[in-house]
Amino acid sequence: MKKFLVLIALILSPCVIADEVDGLTEPEWKDFVPPSYADVEEPKGLGKLNETASYWYKRRIEFNEAIEKCRSIEFADDKLSCYQDVKVKQYQKNSDYNARIEAQEQARMGPQEMYDRTDTMLPIGGYLNTFTRFQPNELR
């Protein structure tokens, strides 16, 4: 039994090393998606109103189609460039998504100067100085 396990370990280790040497590690969906949406299913019923789940579901379908297309390529160099293209496109989509979410939050909150407390406070010191100059009981 021990010899059998050693033999399997020796056979499988070159396969793993060869895969890493070629750089053909296939991109995984979990590397590009928020953890809560890694296993998102097609939204049904009231779930269709959840735009975020729908977005990540559509992205997962597109990602799987791109990976299948890359798997069908025979040459290692072409397959590697295809995987790299998939990664670049996914990172670009993530940055676009994050920018869109940030813009929506900014629009929902309104302009930042509206919430700045220093702008809404009266310059009390300046008003007090001008107010005290014109007091009726002041002797001139």
Q: What is the pTM of this model?
A: 0.60
Chunked into runs of 10 residues, the chain (140 residues) has average pLDDT values of 48 46 78 91 79 92 96 93 96 94 86 55 54 53
- For residue 139, the model assigns a pLDDT of 53
Q: 73's torsion region: left (phi>0), alpha (psi -120 to 50) or beta?
A: beta
The CA-based angle 55-34-37, given to 5 degrees, is 55
- For residue 19, the model assigns a pLDDT of 41
Give the tokens for residue 79. 């397959």
How far, CA to CA in Å, does 43 sit from each of 30, 48, 71, 90? 19, 5, 28, 22
Q: Which helix (H) or strand (E) holds 127?
A: helix 124-133
CB-CB neighbours of 115 under 10 Å: 10
Q: 36's torsion region: left (phi>0), alpha (psi -120 to 50) or beta?
A: alpha
- For residue 22, the model assigns a pLDDT of 56
- DSSP string across 16-54: HHHHHHHT-PPP-GGGTS-GGGTTPPPP-GGGGG-HHHH
Please report, for the chain, the start and end positions of each structural domain, with discontinuous segments joined by +. 19-111
Residue labelled with tokens 């590697």: 80
User: Rounded to 5 degrees, what are φ and ψ at 26?
Assistant: -75, 135
